[in-house]
A = this chain, B = another copy of it.
Amino acid sequence: MKPLKIVIVGLGLIGGSMAKALKQNTSHQVLGMDQDEDALLDACSCGAIDGKAGRDDLKTADLVYLCVYPEGALAFAREYGPLLKAGSVLTDACGVKEELCAAMAALPGQYTFVAGHPMAGKERSGFAASDPSIFVGASYILVDTGAPDWAMVLVRERAEEMGFGRVVRTTPARHDQMIAFTSQLPHALACAYVMSPRCPEHQGFSAGSYRDVSRVANINDALWSRLFLDNQKALTQELDQLIANLSRLRDAVDRRDQEELRSLLRTAAQIKRQVG
């Protein structure tokens, strides 16, 4: 297969890690764009990209990754999408899909849009935190928005080259509902958890369960407030469900109802053993 010309827009944690993974594992040409000149320089000097992409590179690129906030992805597609050639693929890495995919579908352009969501991250952000090992074994979600198979395959193969362990296909609505539970809800509850008046005194009294539940509380409020609101309906539903489940446990504890409490804990343990 002929190496592709790939442009990565946004060299933060995800874009930087993608660039490094592609340079490490493939012979594709990898170019970068970023408003932050320092990130571009860092990426060039460590070999994460072959160079900075300009307008002419967008005209000849085979594949463009949007690794920026949702509003940035839309703004880029609106401004630069008309430059992209016929047969090229524009794909994104945004964490919420339904609103974005509908907005993307309304934009003009000769490219094919493939909606994607690499399920990887860590507590730190920015190019300095980028690390291709975060993709190893992780899921890459491809969201069906009517893109033809060849375009889905193009993005899927790159995900495999980056080291992702599985590629999952789903609809925008199901993506957003599942992500509300698997990703947004843990972030919301980590934040709610550390707001306890006991939290500042935890040192010396805490172990692995504190560490794990609170890990993602050091949240990027600009990004996550946007993701939460873009998925308002599904996340509200998950929060209501969690609050109801916590209330059942709370009431069983408060009533000292050991039978009910054991039954709830046993149910949870069975679910966790079954679903992993």
Contacts and interface: CB of A to CB of B under 8 A. Distances in A.
A185 B249 CA distance: 10
A186 B206 CA distance: 11
Given A189-B246, A246-B243, A258-B229, A181 B203 contact: no
B243 A190 contact: no
A271 B200 contact: yes
Nearest to A267: B195
A228 B253 contact: yes
Interface in A222-276: 222, 224-226, 228-229, 232, 235-236, 238-243, 245-250, 253-254, 256, 258, 261-262, 264-269, 271-276
Interface string A55-82: 0000000000000000000000000000
A199 interface: yes
A183 B246 CA distance: 15
Given A262-B225, A269-B219, A272-B218, A207 B239 contact: no
Interface in A148-198: 166, 168, 170, 175, 177-183, 185-198
A213 interface: yes
A104 interface: no
Interface residues of A, number: 93
A207 B183 contact: yes
A169 to B, nearest CB: 9
Contact of A236 (B207, B219, B239, B253): B253
B208 A122 contact: yes
